[in-house]
Amino acid sequence: MSSDTAVSTNANTPREGAFYRALVIRRQLILAALTMALCLSLCVDLALGPARYGLGEVVTALFMPDNVSQSVRVVLWEIRMPVALMALVVGASLSIAGAQMQTILSNPLASPFTLGISAGASFGAALALAFGVSLVPAAVDYIIPINAFVMAMLTAGAIHLLSMRRGVTIETIVLLGIAMVFIFNSLMALIQFFASQQAVSAVVFWTMGSLTKATWPKLWIAVGVLAVILPLLARRGWALTAMRLGDAKAESLGVNPRALRLEVLVLVSLLAAISVAFVGTIGFIGLVGPHIARLLLGEDQRFFLPGSALCGALILSVGSVLSKIILPGTIIPIGIITSLVGIPFFLFLVLNHKKASW
Amino acid sequence: MVTLTLDCLSAHYGRSQILSEITTPTFAGGQIVSLLGPNAAGKSTLFRRILGLLKGSGEVRIEGATSERPVAYMPQETGSTAVLTVYESVLLARMQGRSLKVQPDDLHEVDRSLEDLGIASLGERDISDLSGGQRQLVSAAQALVQAPEILLLDEPTSALDLHRQINLLDILRRLAREREMLIIASLHDIGHALRFTDQAMVLENGQLVACGTTEQVVTPALLRQVFQVDARIEPCSRGRPQLIVEAAV
């Protein structure tokens, strides 16, 4: 018998989970480091803007708001905080959605946008921006996000129902998603063909993604959705991890892959839809956040899920910082920044990592 | 001690009947039963039907089980690109249906399964880096770690070299005896069935054509009828029955 399968009288053999315990501690430390980086990024994001503050001033305003001037308090808490926190929440939501799409579809290219959820949302928003069409009665301020949300969920619902006719297989879901993307891209082109020049500009700007539309009420809605969905996904942690072993193995372990796929599809569609509805299209996070988390933490969902959330939040928060400092005085749409800066960083990580992550 | 009886068991894929009224005597814990048959005879389907993954008429009767999930199943080997270590992938099999918190008992059971199969030294390796044979042993560990009373193994030796085939079947026979576990393994090597299994079931076109002690069931006549080979069975110098295949019919 070769050394790799020798009966474990070997002195180097791990005993009673020693190796596993060390692995768990290492991953907890990585999660802690990501959390600290996220806090730092949040403070820097808050400090930057037309008026720049020191980090000490930001920390004071956060924890002892009475010790800073009224103007600083208003700028930080009323203007910058919803935007900075929205970056964290949307980043976490999109990254979690991407992580679970990649998990249930066993596809490294899957993201909330693979299924046409973003394309559907963009179409809904474009209807409002170009023609003032409201899919459901809503306050004027909310027509665009509600249209986007409704179309995103209708897209997810259509994929859900159609895939059930073919046994909820990975191939069916991916192909339906691709079909949805093409359908909505064509419809978007049609809208842009008929819309005014001004409306087309508005549509294009919306599809670039921007955090500047964030407000406290929108933030609380996004936080609420994330707070409900995160525990639901965490509860299925072992089953979701088993999905990466393939349907046959997952079934043998007592998991129902089809039912779980449908359940997760609904949950991640909600996460993606609410994010896209409030900030527009930010496609990069849902693809790359999970890949970075996977490189750092593996695919045990107990670490991969929070890791994906933290990586997504961190990427978008850093993106928000960069969007303010690349061209002083101008806030570049966040979707452009995350792609321009994030993709080279992601390629660096993947190409320099000693093992393939997929 | 756990027992398993199949009573008029049938299974369908759509409108096609894959298994037809399989009825067996009662198999008791402590034994290894080989499930034999040519390709597409319905062996994997029978496992899936026993596990409840397929619907159909008839009854799978399990008596004397002491756990909630007495049956574990090792499907035919499939590769995975998951970023998991071997240790994590075995722990994962143990933890299905349990809380997210891993208890010391769970780690003990993972260690024991890896050690039982002689693959403890693979624990830190990524599952995507393993050879086909190593993956198959890890898959067996994933089934064993569930502490099953009935273990269903679908071609557990198909990717192993001869040494590891013999080694694995020896280990399984020992574990079956020690833990009073009933093991049913589909095997393509009739010689292994003769050497390592106490009883044999033979499937052909979804029907059970023979069932009993392996030596009674595996005969030249059956080999000719079901497997279309001319073969004889003779005792070797140690007295064990040995299969000698002359030619395909």
Please indicate whether, in this complex, the C-beta atoms of A14 and B120 are within 8 angstroms of each other.
yes
Q: Which fold has domain B1-70+148-213?
A: Rossmann fold (3.40.50)
- State phi, psi for A47 to the nearest 5 degrees: -75, -30
Nearest CA in chain A to B95: A238
Provide, for chain A, the percentages of residues in helix, strand and coil under a 3-state DSSP scheme, each rounded to the nearest 5.
Answer: 75, 0, 25
Query: The domain that contains A130 carries what CATH number?
Result: 1.10.3470.10
**Within 10 A of B52 (CB to CB), how many other CB atoms are there?**
10
Handedness of CA B43, B44, B45, B51 (dihedral sign): positive
Quick check: helix, strand or coil at residue B35? strand
* Minimal CA separation from B168 to chain A, in Å: 11
Span A145-163, mean pLDDT? 87
Residue B49 token pair: 């039907």
Interstrand relation of B3-7 and B27-28 (parallel, antiparallel or unpaired): antiparallel
In chain A, what residues touch B107 (CB-CB under 8 Å)? 16-17, 20-21
Compare CB distances from A19 to B98, B123, B137 and report the shortest one's residue: B123
Instruction: Determine the pLDDT at residue A336.
Output: 86
Per-residue pLDDT band for A6 (boundaries 50, 70, 90) equals very low
Per-residue pLDDT band for A4 (boundaries 50, 70, 90) equals very low
- State phi, psi for B42 to the nearest 5 degrees: 110, 15
Span A137-144, mean pLDDT? 77
- The total of structural domains in chain A comes to 1
Q: Which residues contact A50 (CB under 8 A, 6 or more apart)?
A: A329
Please, are residues B56 and B37 in contact by the beta-carbon 8 Å criterion? no
ipTM field? 0.91
Domain that holds residue A330: 68-352
Instruction: Determine the pLDDT at residue A50.
Output: 85
**Which one is predicted more confidently, B80 or A166?**
B80
**pLDDT higher than 50, residue A21:** yes
Which of B53, B67, B85, B88 best tests the A interface by mutation, with the highest count of A CBs <10 A? B88
> Whole-number mean pLDDT of chain A?
87
**pLDDT higher than 80, residue A61:** yes
The CATH 3.40.50.300 domain(s) of chain B lie at: 1-70+148-213
The model's pLDDT over A227-284, given as tens digits with 9 standing for 90+, comes to: 999 999 999 999 999 999 999 999 999 999 989 998 998 899 889 888 888 888 887 8
Instruction: Determine the pLDDT at residue A47.
Output: 94
Rounded distance, CA B38 to CA B46, Å? 14
Instruction: Determine the pLDDT at residue A238.
Output: 97
The model's pLDDT over A175-212, given as tens digits with 9 standing for 90+, comes to: 899 999 999 999 999 998 999 999 899 888 888 888 88
Instruction: Determine the pLDDT at residue B151.
Output: 98
In chain B, what residues touch A10 (CB-CB under 8 Å)? 120-121
Please indicate whether, in this complex, the C-beta atoms of B92 and A15 are within 8 angstroms of each other.
no
Instruction: Determine the pLDDT at residue A25.
Output: 96
Positions of chain B with pLDDT under 70: none
Residue A9 domain flag: no
Report the percent of chain A where pLDDT is more than 70: 93
Please, are residues A130 and A203 in contact by the beta-carbon 8 Å criterion? yes
Nearest CA in chain A to B121: A13
Distance of CA B5 to the CA centre of its chain: 16
Residue A49 domain flag: no
Q: Which residue numbers of A have CB closer than 8 Å to B's CBs?
A: 1, 3-8, 10, 12-17, 19-21, 23, 106, 234, 237-239, 241-242, 244-246, 248-249, 251-255, 294-295, 298-300, 302, 355-358
**Which one is predicted more confidently, A220 or A266?**
A220
Rounded distance, CA A289 to CA A308, Å? 6
Residue A45 domain flag: no
CA atoms within 13 A on the CB side of A179: 12
Rounded distance, CA B158 to CA B164, Å? 10
Compare CB distances from B75 to A3, A248, A254 and report the shortest one's residue: A248
Which of A1, A9, A20 best tests the B interface by mutation, with the highest count of B CBs <10 A? A20
In chain B, what residues touch A21 (CB-CB under 8 Å)? 107
Compare CB distances from B118 to A8, A244, A248 and report the shortest one's residue: A8
Taking alpha carbons only, the member of A127, A115, A125, A123 closest to residue A179 is: A115
Residue A110 domain flag: yes
Using the 8-state DSSP alphabet, how is residue A65 labeled? G
Residue A10 domain flag: no
Taking alpha carbons only, the member of A349, A315, A226, A331 closest to residue A41 is: A315
The model's pLDDT over B29-74, given as tens digits with 9 standing for 90+, comes to: 999 999 999 999 999 999 999 999 988 899 999 999 999 899 999 9
Instruction: Determine the pLDDT at residue A348.
Output: 76
Nearest CA in chain B to A246: B80
Instruction: Determine the pLDDT at residue A32.
Output: 98
Per-residue pLDDT band for A13 (boundaries 50, 70, 90) equals very low
Per-residue pLDDT band for A15 (boundaries 50, 70, 90) equals low
Please indicate whether, in this complex, the C-beta atoms of B104 and A234 are within 8 angstroms of each other.
no
